[in-house]
Amino acid sequence: MQFVAERRTKICFPFCGDLIGGSHISVLGLLSNLDRSRFDPLVVVEEPQGEIARMMRDADVDIATAGLLPAPRHGERAGLRDALGIVRASGMLARLLRERAVDIVHTNDGRTHATWALPAKRAGAKLVWHHRGAPDARGLRFIAPRIADAVISVSSFALGKAGTRIRRARVIHSPFDTDIRVDRQTMHAALLGELGCSADTRLIAFFGVLIPRKRPLLFVEAVAALRRLAPNLPVQGLVFGTPLEIDEAVVRKHAERHGVSDAIRLMGFRYPGAEWIAACDLLVVPAVDEPFGRTLIESMLVDTPIVASRSGGNIEALQEGRLGVLVAPEDPHALAVGALDLLSDKNRYAALAAAARAHALGHFGEDRHAEAVMALYDELVPSARPSNRSRGGSAPAPVPLP
């Protein structure tokens, strides 16, 4: 392949804190599929021996350290003190970007947008603002249209009306390893053994960090409702995820209050998550206004059927209910009914799982995601665009905006 440019385009992926979430997994998938003959990725972390740095080293990428940064805490809006700290740190961060000759800064969550947008501009780099939050996020509505050179959104729901005010705004769904192969029976048996449960126990799973938007307490209530609907059905509600804004003790007390302390197990964060989703009979997603949950697609890829709230990106991911069961939001009884209906109907259970997997295989591959993102990089820094593509054809078209 022949190229117009002599130098690869330098892409910086900065991160704040050291808590691993869906955005880090998505970036790892992108890094693993970037055309390294055209793009030179750099990851910037706060802790050189932290979890994020260890994860990113698997992608054979250059890693730099910025030190502890004044980013606001997760779930909190930046206040005056945060803003002053960010402004003070921006000079140092801009120097780092200039010294590394960074062409594009690709930020991937709210804290990183807030911390790195100004340094990117001060360094003369292009800013790609990857939006993974709600459509009413202040940064997306008020800051991104003024400062970002391009905005990527994980779903049409998440982008909302802000896309009409941003010249380069597009929906590019997150990347997934579509080659994953998991022996569901083996994983299921292993998990039952770990829990000390009988072979006929149904494992109902919640996956996600413990924050209000994901509704882990509503999941507990849904398990309690399922118990009332089918008192003779042995069920365990498994909560996989890191406590962030909701402590595990709060979940335990909620389970006690609803009489299901014996049926709720706190499993912590486990990676890779898809293997543990495969070990479960159902994924229940009670989240409201979820932009586009990774666990939905991971569940599709490993044949675990889904029951989710009809809210936010859940509707888009499940194709209006064609790929999973959608129920009224904020309704634990509806979640329980949806779960029991699937568990009681083997034919529907298998049909939904097969349809969901087929859809996920065709729409969420890592190579497809990388091609779409690289096409955007080419728009921002045209000098790295190849004169012809050896892979044939152009990048997949972005999802049309609403």
Write out pLDDT tens, residues 47-97: 999 999 999 998 889 999 987 777 655 555 555 566 677 778 899 999 999
32: exposed, middle or buried (Cβ count in 10 Å: 0-12, 13-18, 19+): middle
pLDDT at 267: 97
Beta bridge partners of 250: none
Residue of 177, 387, 384, 365 whose CA lies nearest to 271? 177
CB-based contacts of 296, cutoff 8 Å, min separation 6: 283, 285, 306, 308, 314, 317, 318, 324
Per-residue pLDDT at 385 exceeds 80: no
Cα–Cα nearest to 242, from 207, 292, 281: 207
E strand or H helix at 195: helix 184-195
Bond into 272 cis (ω within 30): yes
Per-residue pLDDT at 402:
43
Among the residues of 273-325, which ranges form H helices?
273-278, 294-301, 313-317
Q: What is the arithmetic mean of pLDDT over 173-193?
A: 94
Mean pLDDT of 173-178: 92
* pLDDT one-digit tens code per residue, 304-326: 999 999 999 999 999 999 999 99
Across the chain, mean pLDDT equals: 90
For residue range 321-368, list pLDDT tens digits in order. Answer: 999 999 999 999 999 999 999 999 999 999 999 999 999 999 999 999
- pLDDT of 186-224, one tens digit each? 999 999 999 999 999 999 999 999 999 999 999 999 999
- Which domains are seen in the chain, by residue range? 9-175+365-384 (3.40.50.2000), 184-363 (3.40.50.2000)
How confident is the model over 261-265, as a mean pLDDT?
98
Say yes or no to pLDDT of 394 above 70: no
Q: pLDDT (tens digit, 9 = 90+) per residue, 118-143?
A: 999 999 999 999 999 999 998 999 99
pLDDT for the residue 20: 87
* Average pLDDT rounded to a whole number, residues 6-34: 92
pLDDT recorded at residue 401: 45
pLDDT value at residue 392: 41
Q: What is the rounded distance in angstroms from the CA atom of residue 303 to the CA atom of residue 282?
A: 9
- Return the sign of the alpha-carbon dihedral for residues 349, 352, 354, 360: negative
In this structure, what DSSP letter does residue 399 have? B
For every residue of 326-369, DSSP letters joined together read EE-TT-HHHHHHHHHHHHH-HHHHHHHHHHHHHHHHHH-BHHHH
Q: What is the pLDDT of residues 218-241, one digit of tens each?
A: 999 999 999 999 999 999 999 999
pLDDT at 98 over 70: yes
